[in-house]
């Protein structure tokens, strides 16, 4: 038996997974346990969970796989430092990071106790990304592409996967980076926090790509499919501009852009100030430039390898708008993007890269994302009984509904009546998307549902859209693309004749970031949506993550706390139905 723990550490979205004999057993991001968004550092709690889920101890672990190799691309690093002479603070920061990454065994001893006697493997960052998509995909062979900010001195890599092997054709090395381009423009648009790029993606449909010519002065496409940046607009090539992590949390980041960017686009928007139409147009132009570069790269990859299948990974692999255009703007006809395409997913990629390097067989496909912690029926009952006084004091009734069909019918009826549901079931999702086990659910037919959720529960910007969870078998009737999207990683156009009937999940441009739901992978969620369809004729629900400006809830206590402090109407906690005696949303 072979036990491998994969790790993403010392960077945002720290995470761990456990692979036993080539099959994923457990995976979780550290933020879910620490309750700090994008937590960085060593993922000791994630490792602790994975071991417990597998019924193992550190002594049982044969390999630790880290999704970063400090020796990778070393010649290029030395050459760059010699030629460009970056600041001493940038060099010292890189040296400190290298030392941290070499201390994995020591971190295990310090946080989880002694006992690990296996090997520690460093897996080059982009190989881990490519492995995280291809090695768990259903494809025997496919083109593979990884695009992100930076990892191991590279910002992109591409090649081809066949069987258990991945061959890398080429990479884009520091300092060009599409991730840095998108992040710098995100900050120019006044969104300062780590991971705010998705806000720009949500804002873009409100604008027009009127500034694409300016973007083409920033991102320079190359004949081989790669790209460069005009570094006059950026500071990262010569200065330290990385995030500072305080107790695992991103607390600040200096601007990535130089005054030259403001000379090109005008003064940067200050956080919290008005979003003008010009800002929306620039957001659209940023997205358009990313797509132009992304599909330029995909065209070159296809020109070399042919085929119809592609696997996408890396932080930019989270750009669901671009992903949704792969079939219309490239020759590829099947795409696989796993639920944690970003750095967290590198933990899985590192583990599977080590497994296949050792000659392991390839007989695992990740067709769902439910790899996190769960609560047993006894644990849920203990919580409800312990909190009964507080629940009833909040004006709620508690009902245990043992029959699943009855539970789903009652919940669907509440949703159809305009109520907002906290839905806590089974194992927590792997990756940033709530996929029907840690979700807040609503009626997609209600035009006021989006604003209510944004203002009263999620407490976030009004322009951000909500996603539809749709029965997989109903996709052709509601979307222009017929595809399986289990991880909510693609945005597709909603059929024009259907858009008015589901305004809460139809974005301003007529699109939706759908999740396809199958009875085989999430039977209870599929049954709930089916019950809603039986009552309304609509085979989907509005689905957003179960949280309120915090990481997605992990444990049932966190779900109950979030329910009680917000204006949700109903909490379905396993088989327990907790209902407020108030008017619906």
* Cα(278)–Cα(288) distance, integer angstroms: 15
Compute φ and ψ for 219, nearest 5 degrees. Answer: -105, 125
* Cα(146)–Cα(10) distance, integer angstroms: 20
Cβ contact 30:550 at 8 Å: no
Identify the CA nearest to 419 among candidates 225, 569, 194, 275.
569
Which H or E run contains 86?
none
336-345 burial: b if 16+ Cβ within 10 Å, else e = bbbbbbbbbb
Cβ contact 130:313 at 8 Å: yes
Q: Going by C-beta distance under 8 Å and a sequence separation of 6 or more, which residues neighbour residue 389?
A: none
Identify the CA nearest to 64 among candidates 102, 13, 105.
105
Angle between helices 277-305 and 178-188 in degrees, nearest 10: 170
Active-site choice (11, 296, 368, 526) = 11
* Cα(377)–Cα(385) distance, integer angstroms: 12
Annotated catalytic residue 11: yes
Question: 213 exposed, middle or buried (CB, 10 Å; 0-12, 13-18, 19+)?
Answer: exposed
Give the helix ranges, DSSP H, for 189-248.
197-203, 212-218
426: left (phi over 0), alpha (psi -120 to 50) or beta: left
Identify the CA nearest to 200 among candidates 106, 89, 316.
316
* Cα(69)–Cα(113) distance, integer angstroms: 25
* Cα(16)–Cα(5) distance, integer angstroms: 7
Q: What single DSSP character describes residue 232?
A: G
Residues annotated as part of the active site: 11
């Amino acid at each position: 038996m072979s036990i491998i723990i994969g790790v993403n550490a010392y960077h945002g979205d720290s995470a761990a997974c456990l692979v036993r004999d080539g099959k994923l057993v457990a995976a979780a991001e550290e933020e879910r346990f620490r309750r700090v968004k994008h937590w960085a550092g060593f993922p000791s709690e994630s490792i602790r969970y994975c071991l417990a889920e597998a019924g193992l101890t550190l002594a049982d672990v044969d390999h630790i796989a880290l999704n970063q190799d400090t020796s990778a691309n070393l010649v290029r690093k030395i050459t760059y430092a010699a030629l460009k002479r970056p600041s001493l603070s940038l060099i010292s920061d890189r040296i400190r990071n290298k030392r941290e990454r070499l201390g994995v065994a020591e971190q295990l001893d310090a946080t989880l106790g002694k006992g690990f006697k296996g090997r520690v493997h460093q897996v080059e960052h982009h190989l881990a990304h490519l492995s995280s998509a291809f090695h768990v995909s259903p494809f025997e062979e496919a083109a593979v592409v990884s695009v992100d900010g930076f990892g191991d001195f590279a910002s992109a890599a591409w090649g081809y996967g066949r069987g258990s092997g991945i061959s890398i054709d080429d990479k884009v090395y520091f300092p060009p980076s599409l991730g840095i381009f998108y992040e710098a423009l995100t900050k120019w648009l006044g969104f300062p926090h780590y991971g705010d790029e998705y806000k720009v993606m949500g804002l873009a449909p409100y604008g027009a790509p009127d500034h694409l010519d300016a973007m083409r002065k920033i991102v320079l496409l190359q004949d081989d499919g790669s790209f460069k940046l005009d570094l006059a607009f950026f500071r990262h090539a010569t200065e330290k501009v990385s995030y500072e992590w305080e107790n695992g949390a991103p607390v600040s980041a200096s601007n990535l852009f130089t005054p030259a960017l403001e000379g090109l686009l005008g003064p940067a928007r200050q956080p919290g100030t008005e979003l003008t139409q010009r800002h929306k147009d620039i957001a659209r132009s940023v997205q358009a430039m990313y797509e132009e570069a992304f599909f330029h790269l995909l065209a070159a990859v296809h020109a070399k390898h042919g085929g119809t299948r592609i696997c996408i990974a890396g932080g930019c692999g989270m750009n669901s708008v671009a992903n949704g255009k792969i079939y219309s703007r490239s020759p590829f006809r099947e795409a696989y993007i796993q639920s944690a395409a970003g750095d967290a997913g590198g933990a899985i990629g590192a583990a599977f890269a080590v497994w296949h390097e050792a000659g392991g067989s390839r007989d695992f496909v990740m067709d769902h994302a439910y790899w996190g912690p769960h609560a047993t029926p006894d644990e849920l009952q203990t919580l409800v009984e312990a909190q009964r006084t507080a629940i009833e004091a909040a004006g709620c009734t508690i009902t245990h509904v043992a029959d699943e069909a009855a539970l789903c019918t009652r919940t669907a009826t509440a949703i159809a009546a305009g109520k907002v549901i906290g839905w806590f079931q089974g194992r927590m999702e792997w990756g940033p998307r709530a996929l029907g086990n840690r979700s807040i659910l609503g009626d997609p037919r209600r035009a006021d549902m989006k604003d209510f959720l944004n203002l009263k529960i999620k407490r976030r910007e009004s322009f951000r859209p909500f996603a539809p969870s749709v029965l997989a078998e109903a996709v052709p009737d509601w979307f222009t693309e017929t595809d399986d999207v289990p991880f909510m990683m693609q945005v597709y156009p909603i059929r024009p004749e259907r858009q008015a009937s589901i305004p809460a999940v139809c974005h301003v441009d007529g699109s939706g970031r759908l999740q396809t739901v199958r009875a085989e992978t999430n039977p209870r969620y599929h049954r709930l949506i089916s019950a809603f369809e039986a009552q309304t004729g609509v085979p989907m629900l509005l689905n957003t993550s179960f949280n309120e400006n915090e990481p997605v809830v992990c444990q049932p206590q966190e779900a109950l706390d979030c329910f009680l402090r917000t204006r949700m109407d109903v909490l379905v906690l396993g088989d327990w139905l907790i209902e407020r005696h108030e008017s619906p949303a």
